Structure 1
Amino acid sequence: MGSRMLPFVLLALLVALHAQLWLGRGSVPRVTEMQRQIEAQKAANDLARQANERLASEVHDLKEGLDMVEEKARSELGMVKPNEVYVQFTPR
């Protein structure tokens, strides 16, 4: 009787293992989704790293020289030096 039950027990174990593989916590679809999320996060991290590098460069320029400060003041605040004439041209 025991030898007749062995194939059924092994089959039940096989079904249980396959269920874990396809439906469990570490299933193939879940791992694939997590890998996609990791790639998306890496891309977001790269964009953030580039923005940080750009800002660090700008901070360095602001600390080291006044050229960047003058450029910002001219473009964003409309700064004009003494004895300088400001002319604004607007196309039709």
Structure 2
Amino acid sequence: MKLLWAIMITLILVLQGRLWFGEGSFAQVWALEQSIAEQQRENDELATRNERLYAEVRNLRNQQGAVEERARMNLGLIRQDETFFLVVEN
């Protein structure tokens, strides 16, 4: 009977060891959940950025004024017969 108890206790300890320290253990599952949560946050940020870029592209494709505004702001372009004033602050 003592041999049976010893085998059962050994089996329980081996199974507990795998549960806490082996592959698929609580620590490994927790680390994977943390990694998944971090990756999900990063994906959400990138999805938001992509939506802004898609909206900007749609705007540039559909409205001529958007292209003109972009050219004025980023490239400093002006129309013919237009006067350009540069205001410099101290």
Q: Same fold (TM over 0.5)?
A: yes
CA distance in 2, matches of 1:24, 1:89: 69
Question: Percent identity over the alignment?
Answer: 31
Q: Which runs of 5+ in 2 are unaligned?
A: none
CA distance in 2, matches of 1:58, 1:91: 30
Partner of 1:63: 61
CA distance in 2, matches of 1:90, 1:28: 63
Task: Tell me which stretches of 4 or more aligned residues in structure 1 moved more than 3 Å.
Answer: none
CA distance in 1, matches of 2:53, 2:21: 46
What is the Cα-based RMSD across aligned positions, in Å? 0.9
Offset at 1:38?
A: 0.6
2:76 to 78, 81, 88: 78
Offset at 1:62?
A: 1.4
Deviations 1:40-75 (A, max 9, x none): 111011011111111111111111111110111011
CA distance in 2, matches of 1:46, 1:56: 15
Partner of 1:5: 3
Partner SS, residue 12 of structure 2 = helix
Structure 1 length as normaliser, TM-score?
0.92
Structure 2 length as normaliser, TM-score?
0.93
